[in-house]
A and B are shown apart, each in its own frame.
Chain A
Amino acid sequence: MGSRGNPLLGVALAAVLGFAGCAPHSSHRIVVFWQFSPLAAIQPVLDRFRSEHPDIDVKVEQLTWQSGREKIVAAIAAGRPPDLAELGSTFLPGLVADSTLVDLTDSIPELVGTLRGWPVAVYRGRAYALPWMLGTRAMFVNTDLLARAGLSPERPPETWAEFAQAAARIDGLGQGVKGFGMNSGEREVLFKKFMPFAWGNGGSILDSSMTRSVVASPQNIEALRWYLTLKPHSLLDRQEMLDEAFTRGRVGFAISGPWMLRKLPESAPTLHFTVTLMPRPAANRGLPASFAGAEALGIFRGSKEKAAALTLARFLVREENAMPLYVATGNAFPAAYAAEQDTYFVSHPLDKVFVRQLLTAVAPPVHPRWVEIEEILNAELEEAIYGKKSAEEALRSADKKIQALLGAPS
């Protein structure tokens, strides 16, 4: 009997151990966070969050750019969305329109003045996400080709006229070298490549009330006419192939993102290049505009840990937590204004060009039917690039279709 021990003691011990085991869990909240950065890059940031908020555990998962969107959609459909997710600016309008995200407006008034990039997260004056990382594109310039074409590598083109002339002269070098890398064959990115020129020229896609298409405005038509004049001097291919061609010194100019700054020194150590702002219509007219993309942090309505998710989101958007992610991945910049003053940009002046470019970058409108608007615009731009329609025909056709869409019930 004695060797078997006291059964009552056993029950009591089990109860104590049971409570002991439960106690920490009952006060612990678990936030499921889906994001796109490699875990090696995000984990140190989350470790700091854990030390600052020991009561919140973060279950982080890395999404892939190829299937992340589908995974989020499937999770929402299954009624088991993550608590917090990194959402791209082109995906966000659909989620907002379908009331999938929590309205954060009243919970984050103090963040409004600390972050840039709100246009991608705000719909009808309400904020449905926190801008976290901002991406934009700038002009990569092969300075060797510029010099070979008899142009000053110290002063890359700043205006449309200078740019078109430089592209033509580089194209004239022959030997398989082309002046400009023009996107084609991937319809989904065409508006991102063309609209910067239209935005810089004062153009737009929708009017300020977002109820009327202004795609066929004279500013847009002028921009597209000019853009198409670059075609004879351009290499037409998909973005990654254009990046590759620039890496191999085969194109003079390529519109690309900051990831190239990490790639080029490794894969083309002998390539001489610089990065400049996008060309503006004229020295005394327009802006060097670019496309503004954003990775925003959204909390799903189906989340069971909304408060904890917001705590995590607030932590992530802080400059000191977002900046290490940029340093590690080199893809997009912190939305926090304070990041501009980071010493990293002193030692990395080309990265700083992207920060300057962000100041004149424009985000596509947050509209519930954005996916369809984007599809129409891309299809018509493709027709223009392939010479099936003139600039005017393509934009007028896009205008008509978008207007019909805006008039149709969603």
Chain B
Amino acid sequence: MSQRVGGWAVPIAGLLPWSLCFAVFGLVPLFTAFLLSFFDMNPLRPDLTHWVGVSNYTRALGSPAFWHALRTTAIFVVGTLPVTLTLAYVVAALLSRVRRGQGFLRAAIFFPSIPAMVVTAIVFKSLYAEQGLLNGWLAALGFGAVHWLQDPRLALPSIMAMDVWGSVGYYAILILASRKTLPLEQLEAARLEGMGTLEIERRIVMPHVKPVLLFVILLNTIRSFQIFTEVFILTRGGPLESTLTLVYHLYERAFYHFEMGYACAIAYLLLFLVGLILLVQKRVLGRAPAGAM
């Protein structure tokens, strides 16, 4: 009996620190935010907090700013996800073929995902500046200056490009790791049967890395819906609200207008939406033959 208790004690002791942290910093805010979403709460006047039922939710769903922010976020997700996934897959495929210097290339490709997004965004702010490096290169090639972050049509694509640059390496390494677990004999057998490179990719490699691809899609979807830091550093939702994403909108309502309950309702609408999309993705992609992905 004591041996059994002793046997449980070690894993429990090991899990306890993380579980406590998760409970305090994860679950408690999660439930508190859910409760708050049914209240009108100004953090500067917590004494005036009062129950408003679902009116924060109905207000959000009737707000043009909410739908505009949701649309911007959706464009960001739809614009970055396929590009990131395709590039990550191609980079992983190319890396797997490299025989010399693969370690260096792996590190180089992974590098952009190491610095915090704040750092990356600050670097890109200089690159995208009106008189920054990118426009310097364009000028050297005889082109005029591009208003990367000042033009409402270009600001969001510029942030999307930065996001793709910052995340492709990370996902490429995940996909590469999965490719590495593919038995070489299987590939050689496929070649002996006369399969071409593309056919091997489609019929052998893709089915093998499919679980990782699914993981990458789910992870990237969640990350993309949460986009905030890039917008906060580069554009603050502008120009002309062309980069006003849902989380930035939520932040403005919470910390500039002190509408904490309303901001929590937006957060839960986002959570519901992301959950729904992930569920659909999992169902559809989990069923689909890998070659169709």
Contact = CB atoms under 8 A, between A and B. Distances in A.
B41 to A, nearest CB: 8
B45 interface: yes
Nearest to A95: B44
A262 interface: no
B255 A70 contact: yes
B131 A236 contact: no
B44 A76 contact: yes
A250 B131 contact: yes
B44 A382 contact: no
A371 B256 contact: yes
A98 B236 contact: no
Interface string A11-25: 000000000000000
Nearest to B148: A185
Contacts of A98: 42, 44-45, 258
Contacts of B152: 386
Interface string A195-218: 000000000000000000000000
- SS class of chain B's interface: helix, strand, loop or mixed? loop
Interface in B117-170: 125, 129-132, 139, 147, 149-150, 152, 155
B261 interface: no
A176 interface: yes
A356 B183 CA distance: 77
Interface residues of A, number: 35
A286 interface: no
B45 to A, nearest CB: 5
Contacts of B46: 76-77, 79
Interface residues of B, number: 28
Interface stretch (A106-114, A240-248, A328-336): A240-248
Interface string B243-270: 0000000000001111010000000000
Nearest to A91: B256
A383 interface: yes
A300 B43 CA distance: 14
A79 B46 CA distance: 9
B5 interface: no
A372 B238 CA distance: 17
A98 B42 CA distance: 9
- SS class of chain A's interface: helix, strand, loop or mixed? helix
Contacts of A73: 43-44, 255, 258
A390 interface: no
A184 B139 contact: no
B13 interface: no
Given A79-B46, A236-B147, A386 B239 contact: yes
A388 interface: yes
A188 B236 contact: yes
A372 B257 contact: yes
A98 B45 CA distance: 6
Interface in A47-98: 69-70, 73-74, 76-77, 79, 94-95, 98
Contacts of B155: 185
Contacts of B260: 77
Contacts of A383: 240
Contacts of B236: 186-188
Interface string A217-253: 0000000000000000001111001001100101000
B235 interface: yes
Contact of B43 (A74, A186, A188): A74
A105 interface: no
B239 A187 contact: yes
A76 B43 contact: yes
B239 to A, nearest CB: 5
A382 B240 CA distance: 7
Contacts of A388: 240
Interface string B203-247: 000000000000000000000000000000001111111000000
Interface string A244-277: 1100101000000000000000000000000000
B201 to A, nearest CB: 43
Nearest to B130: A237
B134 to A, nearest CB: 13
Nearest to A75: B43
A99 interface: yes
A100 interface: yes
A365 B189 CA distance: 78
A12 to B, nearest CB: 43
B130 A241 contact: yes
Contact of A185 (B235, B256, B257): B235
Interface in A364-379: 371-372, 375, 379
Contacts of A241: 125, 129-132
Given A76-B43, A386-B239, A69 B131 contact: no
Nearest to B48: A98
Nearest to B45: A98
Given A187-B236, A371-B257, A236 B130 contact: yes
B239 A185 contact: yes
A77 B42 CA distance: 8
A198 to B, nearest CB: 21
A187 B238 contact: yes
21 contacts: A73-B43, A73-B255, A73-B258, A76-B44, A94-B44, A94-B258, A100-B44, A184-B239, A185-B150, A185-B155, A185-B235, A185-B238, A186-B236, A187-B236, A235-B130, A237-B130, A250-B131, A379-B241, A383-B240, A386-B239, A386-B240
Sorted nearest first, the 4 A-B pairs with minimum C-beta distance are A77-B43, A98-B44, A237-B130, A241-B129
Interface of A: 69-70, 73-74, 76-77, 79, 94-95, 98-100, 176, 184-188, 235-238, 241, 244-245, 248, 250, 371-372, 375, 379, 382-383, 386, 388
Interface of B: 42-46, 125, 129-132, 139, 147, 149-150, 152, 155, 235-241, 255-258, 260
Given A77-B43, A379-B241, 6 more contacts: A70-B255, A94-B44, A187-B239, A248-B131, A382-B240, A386-B239
